[in-house]
Structure 1
Amino acid sequence: MLAFALVAGSVWVVLELSSTFMEKMQSRDLLLGLQLPELDDLGQFLRSLPTSTLLGLGALTAVLAYWISTRPRPITPPCDLRLQSQEVQMEDGARRSMMGDSSTLLSHYHEDAKTMYEVFQRGLHITGDGPFLGSRLPNQPYKWLSYREVSSRAEHLGSGLLSQGCQPNPDQFIGVFAQNRPEWIISELACYTYSMVVVPLYDTLGPDAIRYIINTAEISTVICDKAQKAAVLLENVQRGETPGLKMIILMDAFDTQLLEEAQKCSVHIRALRDVEALGREHYRKPVPPGADDLSIVCFTSGTTGNPKGVMLTHGNVVADFGGFLKVTDKVIFPNQDDILISFLPLAHMFERLIEAVVICHGGRIGFFQGDIRLLPDDMKALRPTIFPVVPRLLNRMYDKIFSQANTSLKRWLLNFAAKRKGLEVCRGVIRSDSVWDKIFFHKIQASLGGRLRMIITGAAPASPIVLDFLRAALGCQVYEAYGQTECTAGCTFTTPGDWTAGHVGAPLPCNLIKLLDVAEKNYFAAKGEGEICVKGPNVFKGYLKDPVRTAETLDADGWLHTGDIGKWLPNGTLKIIDRKKHIFKLAQGEYISPEKIESIYIRSEPVSQLYVHGDSLQSCLVGIIVPDPEVLPSWAQKKGFGGCYDELCGNKEIKKAILDDMVRLGKASGLHSFEQVKDIHIHKEMFSIQNGLLTPTLKAKRPELKEYFKTEIEQLYSNISM
């Protein structure tokens, strides 16, 4: 009996191994020529073996059987990763996704969710009295509002707005001026329930931009969180700068002084709960919007000029997140057990889109406390499964991990473990229970709650080195998206199973992408390079009351011209290689793209921020560098330098070492000599929104940087010419 069991087990193992081998080879030819022994001969051979040998064989069989049954399975990609997009005939070289109907672009994923109102109703139907929106006080657990509670509050708030004179149609714009919190979503849903349009405001836009938005969008009602913001809005009215603003609704408590100031300029101040109570008394049935109705006007900050009001319909948003669902539906489909941590500004479409995906499937959204420094504590308390991030945060995570590995041996072991686990990732295996996780990465994963299954990064290019490491260390699927507000949020996305870095994925099934020649930079579509253009149901309708800038961005055939320069890779994915804007010539006539150079130099370990400068009167480039306060001391110590952050920033030898490291990276990345900076200035203070050097989306404001560092730049050029 024992011999029979061992034989059966051995045969099963052989068959399993043969099956696996055949799957890998995708052919039977190799096995056809093998002369396998008959089972009678095999049985006779086994019976001739001593008992100890049979027991050893049985143990080996058991181990092999266990390994085969428990070995990690790779993710099955939804398409051939060697061909992730295909060219579309009669579309001037445009490419589309390999997923979905090849004859049409995806406009929605769920038949019962074609507007943002229906998206919420679908989530409500799935989860009902289950948790939806969560918030917490310091050192307290999360408290949750249910889908049904939020539905009632949204209808009551919307009815209250109508009772105050707002109209239930897409011509009614409602401003929302608040940090991420449950009332933000309730206000948004109140607007959608009665076909009104949301216009997000955020204080990092600056006072001039807020006045411009209120006047351009003709906003008469603003819902805001804090009395301080309401006071700023009232000051604008008192100065006659926003005469159309008539009502401010406050989420937080306010005092009588604010009421008195409001009365002076005939502005009504209401508490959010009071407006909800009014709506409960004067309830109005929902007036749902259509797919072609406006849902949101999202003003983008830009680096120059007034902000542009991107007009997005309900259909735009639904198409964009439908494209995301189509790409990932066979691998990691959202469900009501998912929890998203909300900390990226809701005024930006990237965050709004991911939250819409969660809402549509009855999942939960937990809000951070409002202080980014407390985000790790919020992550541990919430234990999210979905984590939308920007590359800057990933860089900080990466730097912090390695700064805590404070010896060369620890860093070597960390890199070794990441590379070994990275081999699994390259084979499509994503898990958090390997020996490498248990020894090296468990604490990192636990610091993010320990339940993450999806990280999505967008808004800026991510470092390949950082992505590769975190895909191994975090034990979850890490996706990279590319897009801009004008295409709702994303137009390309990582294909599940393709965990290679250095590209932004393939086109989403909701849009086409083509490249146009940029002759002045020697980029030609015939060579697979050029300006990225997007067309599809996720592309915006234009800028609010701005036909000139609309025509500059959206051509007559419906193609959105992004200003980014991309390159098609052989597998059909897109790589961002340059930026059309901010291109300038040096004195000798060479074209320079500073953002491309900055994207290379930022990989230097001690560099946190930088600004590369040049102009047509100079023959070379210079740079302004802000070192990372957490990384510079340890990096300098490895180079043999000591001192605090301020002392190191003033050390000429440290400056030279940083410059040498940047030039080394430039050479390794193929920069021409004229594209390398010749000298740098070390600046101790970070570029920020507050000091006016970054946009609210954390992009460099190049004209402001040029003016801010005018003296330092002149001194750098003076030193070079000496």
Structure 2
Amino acid sequence: MSDTQTLIENRPPSVAALFLERVAATPDAEAYRYPVPPASGEGPSEWKSLSWAQAAERVYAIAAGLIELGVQPEQRVALASATRVEWILADLGIMCAGAATTTVYPSTNADESAYILSDSGSKVLIAEDAVQLAKAQEKRAELPELTHVVVVDPAGADLSEDWVLSLAELEQRGAAYLEKKPDLIKEKVGAITKDQLATLIYTSGTTGRPKGVRLPHDNWSYMAKAIAATGLISSEDVQYLWLPLAHVFGKVLTSGQIEVGHVTAVDGRVDKIIENLPVVQPTYMAAVPRIFEKVYNGVVAKARAGGPAKYKIFQWAAGVGREYAKASQDNFRRTGTAAVPFGLAAKHKVADALVFKKLREAFGGQLRACVSGSVALAPEIGFFFAGAGIHILEGYGLTETSAASFVNPGEAYRTGTVGKPLPGCEVRIADDGEILLRGPGVMEGYHKLPEKTAEVLESDGWFHTGDIGELSADGYLRITDRKKDLFKTSGGKYIAPTEIEGQFKALCPFTSNVMVIGADRNFCTALIALDEPALLGWAKDNGMEGKSYEDIVASPATVEFIEGYVQRLNEGLQRWQTVKKFRLLPRDLDVEHGELTPSLKLKRPVVEREYGHLIDEMYAGAREA
């Protein structure tokens, strides 16, 4: 048995146990950094730190406070908050109490929040602020099992009711309880079994009610050990964590960190990413493709704004960077070294000095790698960043597989693939191309939905992902589409829309979101939402300065401009894949209108309903074959 297998197979039953081990091993090492906004509300935040011992003091107090409130093992404690250090401390506190965390996105409306709290049977809600508290107060009559709400940031919240208390008060009560029972946490963590429920994450379904995915403690313990076994992270790393922790992708990153013991800087404010990167100077961070697309669009817009000469230099550098990335990856695949021809290396050195060095500095200057997941990253955007020295390692997993099932292996990464399976994860491709997974990361099942569980989870442990993909001879996986997103035209041709959408995003740096349509139609069309900052920059140079986004996209000049990119897209597609018509949307798609999931995936049925009139317009009078 290899050292890796031994490490994974001899794992403790829970991340709570791993946390106790980490605190004992490196109590004084820095664990977390978090921003404290200035009292005036203006100016940059001051970053503060917690050592592992300081974090543990708060985690154990939260755990003891929950136990004092009457929370029993496996009972659910809901957590409705944006990403912040208290989210992690609360989650660890819940796990150390032997209870289970129900994650709730802060953007979830009161009705859906009440459904999740009710369906999960959550006994306590840890709410970020007055806004999250108000949702519970509004729906209290529908939540008979909810006994307490704990408010993280009590500013403006009404704490006068006896069922509401602040997180500070919970910690004080917990600390007092621990004085009487100093061995309480050790006993509670020692009693946790690997099959005990640790987390209930509700998937944001595109139709109907969300399903609760039951993830036992062993899932996270396995993930912690498997991530460490990849060798992608070390104790010297600094992670910048901004992803929603209510999402499985954000949550799994906390497990790997505890096993390895590196620093994590936590701040979920997406609008602060650009400002935070030079301050945090991370060595690695995880993101969804939309973030890389926005950075790419911003870089292109900035180069264009610098005038024709500057833009020409940028285009040349971007081309060299992509060529360099492809050549180095191809050579690494063949020979194990990333060497490229001398002439290309010389050109790349110039491109690096003119363009790429500044881009790396904007990311903090220390970035070794980024991990990208949730949806596919357009390969041409991946190659651009690779050429710039910002290595994006695509990974793959689902809520039902505890997030991380595949990841690209460091230096041997291949853009356009999601890499190789994590140690302990098995994969096979079904006859229809569907990816099936089996291993210690797979869920126990859907909460109170045995029939739904049986639809995706076979009795021998194989999980049906619903994704279509192909494996290379040496084990790299490429995702081609969601099974349910594939469609057939009325002419009988199968179309993978995400592949076309990714190509368009790489071609057109003004794109924010794009959705290709064509099921049972005789040609493909597209709905296109443009990136507002990039579009406003272009509009300024084209006589539309001061106009609103809606007015700009309605302009014939804008439609003609984007049509040029659609024609370029079509040149690289098979005839039946080509986009014959398109419409520009009057606003971008977003989470608030329910068109994107919180991890920024397209909810296709919602978009089709919302913009059905534009789709009908594109097919009006068309002859259906």
Considering the TM-score relative to the shorter chain, is it more than 0.5? yes
Task: Establish whether residue 299 from structure 1 lines up as the match of residue 194 from structure 2.
Answer: no
Retained in 2: the 8 A contact 1:389–1:458?
yes
CA drift of 1:646 comes to 4.7
The correspondence of residues 234-249 of structure 1 with structure 2, limited to 5 A, is 234-237=137-140, 240-249=141-150
> Which residue in 1 is equivalent to 2:421?
507
Return the alpha-carbon distance in structure 1 between the equivalents of residues 6 and 198 of structure 2: 16
- Corresponding position: 1:471 with 2:374: no
The AA in structure 1 aligned to 2:56 is S
2:234 to 334, 339, 347: 334
Q: Distance in 1 between matches of 2:355 and 2:77?
A: 49
1:149 is aligned to: 54
Match of 2:167? 272
1:659 & 1:182 partners in 2: Cα distance? 45
Q: Return the alpha-carbon distance in structure 2 between the equivalents of residues 113 and 468 of structure 1.
A: 39
| Conserved 8 A contact 2:381-2:506 | no
Asked which structure has the greater RCO (Cα within 8 Å, sep 6+), the reply is 1
Q: Tell me, yes or no, if the aligned pair for 1:108 and 1:114 is still in contact at 8 Å.
A: no
Aligned to 1:67: none
Q: Map residues 37-186 of structure 1 onto 2, 5 A cutoff.
A: 101=2, 106=5, 109=8, 111=10, 113-136=12-35, 137=37, 138-167=43-72, 169-170=73-74, 172-186=75-89
Q: Does 1:216 align with 2:119?
A: yes
C-alpha distance in 2 between matches for 1:394 and 1:152: 37
Q: 1:383 aligns with which of 277, 281, 303?
A: 281
Per the alignment, residue 506 of structure 2 pairs with: 603
* Pairing partner for 1:701 from 584, 603, 612: 603
* 1:647 CA drift (Å): 5.0
How far residue 437 of structure 1 moved from its aligned partner, in angstroms, is 4.2
Would you say 1:685 and 2:587 are equivalent positions? Answer: yes
Give 1:659 shift.
3.8
Provide the rounded CA distance (Å) in 2 between the counterparts of 1:250 and 1:578.
41
Q: In the TM superposition, what is the alpha-carbon distance from 1:690 to its structure 2 partner? A: 0.8
| C-alpha distance after superposition, 1:155-176 (max 9, x if no partner) | 1111111111111x12x11111
Query: In structure 1, what is the Cα distance between the partners aligned to 2:213 and 2:413?
Result: 32
* Aligned equivalent of 1:47: none
Q: TM-score, normalised by structure 2?
A: 0.87
Separation (CA, whole Å) in 2 of partners of 1:158 and 1:489: 25
**TM-superposed deviation, 1:721:** 5.8
The match for 2:345 is none
- Specify the SS of the correspondent of 1:142: strand
Larger CA deviation: 577-586 vs 546-555: 577-586
User: Structure 1 residues 629, 320: closer, same or farther in 2, change over 3 A?
Assistant: same
Mapped to 2, the partners of 1:204 and 1:155 lie a distance apart of 28
Deviation for aligned residue 1:691: 1.5
1:201 Cα deviation after fit = 0.8
- Give 3-state SS (helix, strand or coil) of 1:625's partner: strand
Aligned equivalent of 2:446: 543
Deviation at 1:591, TM superposition (A): 4.2
Matches within 5 A, 1:347-426: 347-368=246-267, 370-406=268-304, 407=308, 408-415=311-318, 418-419=321-322, 422=325, 423=327
Q: Is the 8 A contact 2:151 2:166 kept in 1?
A: yes
- CA change 1:686–1:333 in 2 (3 A) is closer
Q: 2:40 matched to which residue of 1? A: none
Contact 1:205 1:696 in 2 (8 A): no
Aligned sequence identity (%)? 26
Distance in 2, matches of 1:672 and 1:322, equals 47
Note if contact 2:466-2:482 (Cα within 8 Å) is conserved in structure 1: yes
Give 1:319-330 correspondences, 5 Å limit: 319-327=222-230, 329=231
1:578 maps to 481
Q: Which residue of 2 aligns with 1:446?
A: 361
Residue 624 (structure 1) aligns with: 527
Give the Å deviation of 1:250: 0.7
Q: 1:231-285: per-residue Cα shift (whole Å, max 9, x none)?
A: 1111011xx3222222000111255x7245x46xxxx001111111111111241
TM-score (norm 1): 0.76
Paired amino acid for 1:323: A
Measured in 2, the distance between the counterparts of 1:459 and 1:438 equals 33
3-state SS of the aligned residue for 2:586?
coil
- 1:416-465 deviation digits (Å, cap 9, x = unpaired): 552575355655559xx967544432222221222222211111111111
Report if the CA contact (8 A) 1:106-1:322 is conserved. no
The residue number in structure 1 matching 2:344 is none
Cα distance change of structure 1 residues 106 and 236 upon mapping to structure 2, 3 Å threshold: farther
| 1:589 Cα offset (Å) | 4.4
* Secondary structure in 2 matching 1:566: strand
CA contact (8 A) 1:310 1:540 kept: yes
| SS of aligned partner of 1:462 | coil
Could you tell me which runs of 5 or more consecutive residues in structure 1 were left unpaired when the two chains were aligned: 1-99, 519-529
Question: Tell me, what secondary structure is at the counterpart of 1:150?
Answer: helix
Matched residue SS, 1:502: coil
Aligned length: 588
In the alignment, the residues of structure 2 paired with residue 549 and residue 110 of structure 1 have an alpha-carbon distance, to the nearest angstrom, of: 30
- Other-structure match for 2:373: 458
Partner of 2:395: helix, strand, or coil? strand
Contact 2:66 2:94 in 1 (8 A): no
For each residue in 1:257-315, what CA deviation from the matched residue of structure 2 results, as whole angstroms up to 9, or x when unmatched? 7245x46xxxx001111111111111241111222222111111121111111111222
Amino acid of the structure 1 residue aligned with 2:373 = G
The amino acid that maps onto 2:582 is I
**Greater mean alpha carbon deviation, residues 655-664 or residues 343-352:** 655-664
Contact 1:122 1:361 in 2 (8 A): no
Deviation at 1:509, TM superposition (A): 1.7
1:205 corresponds to which of 86, 108, 127: 108
SS at match of 2:434: strand
Q: Which amino acid aligns with 1:279?
A: G
Can you give the 5+ residue segments of structure 2 that lack an aligned partner in the other structure?
38-42, 340-347
Q: Does 1:516 align with 2:417?
A: no
Q: Is the 1:504–1:576 Cα contact (8 Å) retained in structure 2?
A: yes
In 1: Cα distance, 2:33 partner to 2:313 partner? 38
Note if 1:676 corresponds to 2:578. Answer: yes
Q: Deviations over 1:541-566 (max 9, x none)?
A: 10111111111111122111011100
Question: Counterparts of 1:371 and 1:333 in 2: how far apart (Å)?
Answer: 24
Per-residue displacement from partner, 1:147-206 (whole Å, max 9, x unpaired)?
A: 111111111111111111111x12x11111111112111111111212111111113333
Residue 565 of structure 2 is matched in structure 1 by 661
Residue 347 of structure 1 and its aligned partner are, at CA, apart by: 0.8
Root mean square deviation of aligned Cα: 2.8
CA distance in 2, matches of 1:307, 1:654: 38
Amino acid paired to 1:561? H
1:118 Cα deviation after fit? 2.3
Amino acid at match of 1:151: A
| Greater Cα shift, 607-616 or 694-703 | 607-616
- In structure 2, C-alpha distance between the alignment counterparts of 1:457 and 1:119, rounded to whole Å: 26
Q: Conserved in 2, the CA contact under 8 Å of 1:565 and 1:577?
A: yes
Return closer, same or farther for 1:646/1:249 CA change in 2, 3 Å cut-off: closer
For residue 718 of structure 1, what is the aligned residue in structure 2? 620
Q: 2: distance between equivalents of 1:696 and 1:112?
A: 32
Displacement after TM superposition at 1:499 (Å): 3.5
Match of 2:176 among 281, 297, 306: 281
